[in-house]
Amino acid sequence: MPQVRLPQGTLHYREAGSGTRTIVFLHGYLMDSRLWDGVMARLDGEFRCIALDLPLGAHREPMNRGADLSLRGLGALVADALQALDLRDVTLVGNDSGDAIAQVVAGWHPERLGRLVLTPGDCFDNCPPEGFRSLPNLARIPGAVALGLRTLRFRPLRALPFTYGLLTRGRLPHDLIDDWIAAFRSAPGIARDCAEVTRNLGPATTREAALRLAGFTKPALLAFAPEDRLFPFVHAELLAALMPDARVERIEGSRTWVMLDQPERTAAVIRDFVRATTDGPALSTGEQPETARR
């Protein structure tokens, strides 16, 4: 995998396509960039697609000791990666806790962004979502995060509501999850990073980020799933109402992992949004987006 060296440590990423417009994808907690493979495969004929492996517990190389792994720090990490890779006019796409990070980038470091896309994920007071709100306190107990991860070696436990069970309507990607758990256990520094990230999760930053998004004047797309049980669709509508140039799309037949449940639809709404906010052609799907412009 290619990698970029930053002051916080080494960040690995996946890349596909070679278009003049760049889309950067952010994943969620205890996941990696491969979640976006199906969407990237549908977009790489037209766009340069980059998916970052964020230090959220399934990364392959520990960050430097002392790196800021709060949500604000992770947003700065992404902004630093965009600068180091010399990316401009980026369409930044978030999912799950990657949404919170994307909002920090848009709110505090928008210089290299051309557009923002948020799929189901953390925002407002829903960070982390209900069912996971004890995690920050548990992470303050030494070894608690690692102990919890050990249970996920047993595949039936992954379907529980407080693990991966509510993220998809389909079958869980067990091979991926096996790799994520293996990555977590591969080096003590990975567990250290994950515990630091977990301790710093909380709604203070996402509440402030939502207020700062009112000053994000570039186009934004909120593509949420009405059936999602972790991240309510109404949050997409509320965020869109705060932003000067935002639209809302429904990803039907999906939960949080829209890129796995509905990869074709997810790729289509991103493609149409980028086209409509650059060259402005008619939508390729023949559908009109639900718009919420302020």
Note the pLDDT tens digit of each residue in 77-90: 999 999 999 999 99
What are the pLDDT digits (tens) for 197-254? 999 999 999 999 999 999 999 999 999 999 999 999 999 999 999 999 999 999 999 9
Name the pLDDT band for 189 (thresholds 50, 70, 90).
very high
Name the pLDDT band for 67 (thresholds 50, 70, 90).
very high
CA angle 49, 51, 57 (to 5 degrees): 175
Residue 20 scores a pLDDT above 80: yes
Residues 252-280, mean pLDDT to the nearest whole number:
95
Q: Which two tokens stand for residue 123?
A: 């925002």
pTM: 0.93
Residues 171-182, mean pLDDT to the nearest whole number:
96
Identify the structural domains of the chain with CATH numbers, from first to last. Answer: 3-291 (3.40.50.1820)
Average pLDDT, the chain: 93
Name the pLDDT band for 279 (thresholds 50, 70, 90).
low
Compute the radius of gyration of the chain from its Cα atoms.
Answer: 18
What are the pLDDT digits (tens) for 98-146? 999 999 999 999 999 999 999 999 999 999 999 898 899 988 998 888 8
What are the pLDDT digits (tens) for 34-66? 999 999 999 999 999 999 999 999 999 999 999
Name the pLDDT band for 285 (thresholds 50, 70, 90).
very low
Q: Which two tokens stand for residue 40?
A: 């990237």
Name the pLDDT band for 289 (thresholds 50, 70, 90).
very low
Residue 284 scores a pLDDT above 90: no
Q: What pLDDT, on a 0 to 100 scale, did the predictor assign at position 148? A: 80
Cα–Cα separations (whole angstroms), residue 81 to 23, 76, 92, 109, 223: 13, 9, 12, 12, 24
Q: Give me the percent of the chain exceeding a pLDDT of 70.
A: 95
